[in-house]
Amino acid sequence: MKKIALRIVQVLGALVVLAVLGIVVKFYVLSPKMHPARVVTANPTKENLERGRYLVENVTGCLGCHSPIQESQPGEPPVAGKIGGGRTFNEPNFPGKLRSPNISSDKDDGIGAWTDGEILRAMREGVSRNGRTLFPQMPYPTYAKTLSDDDALAIIAFLRTLPPVKNAGGGPTEVKFPVSMFIRGVPQPLLTAPPPAPPESDKKARGEWLLQVASCHDCHDTFDARRQPIAGKALGGGAAYTTEKGTFYAPNISSDPASGLGAYSDADLRRVFDTGVGKAGRPLYVMPWSYYSGMTAGDKEALIFALRQQPPVQNLVPPSVLK
């Protein structure tokens, strides 16, 4: 019996060793999955620069995440003189320190020394210039599905025009184990670039595209304790965000008539996007309306149309608490 028990222990030990080895190989040898950066050029034509400016400043909101912001101001405008310099986020439950990279043209701290292909790979595939996995708060899985080559390269051309800023965000993100291991499995090489964005004339398709590329789901979905979206609760709201101004809860922006946007008129929604004032007449904090306010009228109408088409989610969100 002792020999059998010993044999069982040996087999179990061998299985544990194999399992650990398999995890090491999967996450530290085979991950992150990546292809070499493509050889591409972001041409700084007038058309490309304007297209990139519009996408960065008014659609994707890149500068809201990649700049120190004024939390005490509605719409969280960036700090003057530090645009693109990176940002440290106040996330008390984050396992480490969450910071966004410097995307100014600085050659030491920013992307000034990166190739256009390296920036393109980081944007849509989640791999930094040095092969480091980007934390997926950066919505590269979304951009892999929504940003065509032309749009992505226009963004890069515009980012090249940002004045250099020495890293104002405090350095790279620091993620503790085991989360640091698991995120290595997120990046995926982009095999086929997505098609061009739908035109404004196709209100339904354009609105759905805007919902994705503007990352509305990243703040307005209903999440579990691990901040994973809960199935059937898309855009149901409720996530808490704490700033120096108070604690704010992401509104329910599903089409629910009682707790969501069903209670808002189109004029109410236009006022949110244009001036950052909610239905009750109060200014909106955390919500980066200061960026979206610059959307074209056609894009705002397409976004409103898309929001009206979202399935209703019953979720009465608590009121925000101002300090």
**Strands of the sheet with 240-243, listed across from one edge:** 240-243, 246-249, 321-322
Q: Which helix (H) or strand (E) is 246 found in, with range?
A: strand 246-249
Local confidence band at 48 (pLDDT 50, 70, 90 cut-offs): very high
Phi and psi (nearest 5°) for 298? -65, -40
The residues, ordered by sequence, that sit 6+ positions from 48 with a Cβ below 8 Å of its Cβ are 42, 153, 154, 157, 158
Using DSSP, state whether 141 is helix, strand or coil.
Answer: helix
Q: What are the pLDDT digits (tens) for 269-292?
A: 999 999 999 888 889 998 899 999
- 11 pLDDT more than 80: no
- pLDDT 10s digits, 99-110: 999 999 999 999
Distance CA 255, CA 305 (A): 11
Question: What residues contact residue 108 under an 8 Å CB cut-off, 6+ apart?
Answer: 166
**Is 323 a residue whose pLDDT tops 80?**
no
Retrieve residue 7's tokens.
Answer: 């044999």
CA distance 131 to 44: 27
The answer for residues whose C-beta is within 8 angstroms of residue 181's C-beta and 6 or more apart is: 23, 27, 28
For the chain, which domains are there? 46-185 (no CATH), 203-322 (1.10.760.10)
Identify the DSSP state of 184.
G
pLDDT at residue 30, as a whole number = 58
pLDDT at 170 > cutoff 80: no
**Whole-angstrom Cα Rg for the chain:** 22
Tell me the C-alpha distance between 185 and 139, whole Å. Answer: 15
Task: Supply 143's token pair.
Answer: 């951009």
The pTM of the full predicted model, rounded to 2 decimals, is 0.91
Tokens of 114: 């990166």
Nearest-angstrom CA–CA distance, 200 and 300? 10
Q: What angle do CA 76, 80, 86 make, to 5 degrees?
A: 70
The residue whose two tokens read 């070499």 is 36
Structure tokens at 173: 């993100």
Mean pLDDT computed over 113-122: 98
Cα atoms in the 13 Å half-sphere on the side-chain side of 236 = 15
Q: Which helix (H) or strand (E) holds 245?
A: none
What's the average model confidence in pLDDT over 254-264? 94
| Each residue's pLDDT tens digit, 73-105 | 888 899 999 999 999 988 878 889 989 999 999
C-beta neighbour count of 309 within 10 angstroms: 11
- What is the CB neighbour count within 10 angstroms for residue 252? 26
pLDDT above 80: residue 8? no
- At residue 122, the pLDDT reads 97
Query: Do 63 and 291 form a contact (C-beta atoms < 8 A)?
Result: yes
